[in-house]
Amino acid sequence: MEGSGDEEPGADGPLQQLVKRQRKEKRELQAKIQGMKNTVPKNDKKRRKQLADEVAKLEAELEQKHKEELKQLKEASPEQNKEKKAALEKEREERIAEAEIENLTGARHLESQKLASLLAARHLEIKQIPSDGHCMYRAIEDQLKDRQNSWTVATLRNQTAKYMQSHFDDFLPFLTNSSTGEMYSREEFEKYCDDIANTAAWGGQLELRALSHILQTPIEVVQMDSPPIIVGEEYSGKPVILVYMRHAYGLGEHYNSVKLLTDTATENGS
């Protein structure tokens, strides 16, 4: 009977039941996210940015809900701490096993392997950057640290927005309204720039072009199946190097930074 607190002999305890339900809810959310992703064209940059924000909100809400449920169960049944720890550890091991199978056969693993090989030939390796909507700016921030440039993500975003606003005619022709197919109005362009400065809107080719002018530095984007893209070739000097990954996370596109390839022998002092 629904709502009954009775358990059948051999049935899972309250914590195990909660963990199973939460895992099911996580799978259902991922399926929903995939369905949402499939409805948005890859070239519809504005919609994809909106989708990223919506996905982040849904994931955060579910995570908070699950934390609260676990907290309430712990407070109600402190004697079940051991059971909770064992159940969560089992869940963690199962998730790791599932991810390992996916990674060994999936596009993400193949892409990572190929990029690692391309970078190793240049004595470089990927430096992971969080996937939070700011990844392109975080990767550039990381690259600039080696150049005694302390610009933060917020500074890079603000400078990008200001540069694009002051060079309106250089960027407007490349922005179109996904609903009408018409070029952005001035109001739409201002909103686009405001989103760059004040939200976690994803960055792309236009923002990289602006940043290359702002920094007066070439920006090289390494990718898997085509030659590197160099933005700002008119500038001399060592380029900022980013790695563009199409299959890194659920929604696809992601930027990472690079670092010198780790020399294990040197690190061990041999």
Enumerate residues 6+ apart whose C-beta is below 8 A from 63: none
Q: Is 193 a catalytic residue?
A: no
Q: Which one is catalytic: 123, 195, 254, 263?
A: 254
Q: Which one is catalytic: 53, 123, 135, 263?
A: 135
Q: Per-residue pLDDT tens for 23-57? A: 999 889 888 888 888 887 877 888 888 888 888 88
Q: Per-residue pLDDT tens for 213-243? A: 999 999 999 988 788 899 999 999 899 999 9
Q: Which one is catalytic: 132, 146, 167, 194?
A: 132
Query: Dihedral (C-alpha) 243, 248, 253, 255: value to the nearest 10 degrees?
Result: -30
Q: Is 263 a catalytic residue?
A: no
For residues 183 and 175, what is the distance between their CA atoms, to the nearest angstrom?
6
Confidence class of residue 183 from pLDDT cuts 50, 70 and 90? very high
- Whether the predicted model's global pTM rises above the 0.85 cut: no
